[in-house]
């Protein structure tokens, strides 16, 4: 499945109504750190397929959703479980940091 692009219109259906946890990468094409972690996000999407849904939301094209969640810096990664934002990571971080947050949500 890989990484799924979502919009303000598809956010509720794809993320809030998901039966499995969802990692949402709030990003923009002009953002260097966003581009730096993109390969990590892709890897996680493949490695955790079936356990975690991985989505990307372009903040320039979809201003409503980032506003609802108080996104002030990108990249911001938010992990949703049962329609709730349960973990948030701001900035370009290591794969291990993201994986630790995901594992905490999957185990909890």
Query: Annotated active-site positions, please?
Result: 31, 34
Mean pLDDT along residues 52-61: 98
Predicted confidence (pLDDT) at residue 1 exceeds the cutoff of 80: no
pTM listed for this prediction = 0.97
Q: Does CATH place domain 4-107 in 3.40.190.170?
A: no
pLDDT of residue 108: 82
Predicted confidence at residue 18, as pLDDT, reads 97
Residue 22 contacts residue 56 (beta carbons within 8 Å)? no
Which pLDDT score is estimated for 50?
Answer: 96
Rounded CA gap, 83 and 14, in Å?
Answer: 10
Environment class of residue 74 by beta-carbon count within 10 Å: exposed (0-12), middle (13-18) or buried (19+)? buried
In the predicted model, is pLDDT for residue 86 greater than 90? yes
What is the structure's pLDDT at 63? 96
> What is the 8-class DSSP label of residue 48?
T
Mean local confidence (pLDDT), 86-107 = 96
Is the per-residue pLDDT at 100 higher than 80? yes
Residue 93 dihedral angles phi and psi, to the nearest 5°:
-120, 175
């Amino acid at each position: 499945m890989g990484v799924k692009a979502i919009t303000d219109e598809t956010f509720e259906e794809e993320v809030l109504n998901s039966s499995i946890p969802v990692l949402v990468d709030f990003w923009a094409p002009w953002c260097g750190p966003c581009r730096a972690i993109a390969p990590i996000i892709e890897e996680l999407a493949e490695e955790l397929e079936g356990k975690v849904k991985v989505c990307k939301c372009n903040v320039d094209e979809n201003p409503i959703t980032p506003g609802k969640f108080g996104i002030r810096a990108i990249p911001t990664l938010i992990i949703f479980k049962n329609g709730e934002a349960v973990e948030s990571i701001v900035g370009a971080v290591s794969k291990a940091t993201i994986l630790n947050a995901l594992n905490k949500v999957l185990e909890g």
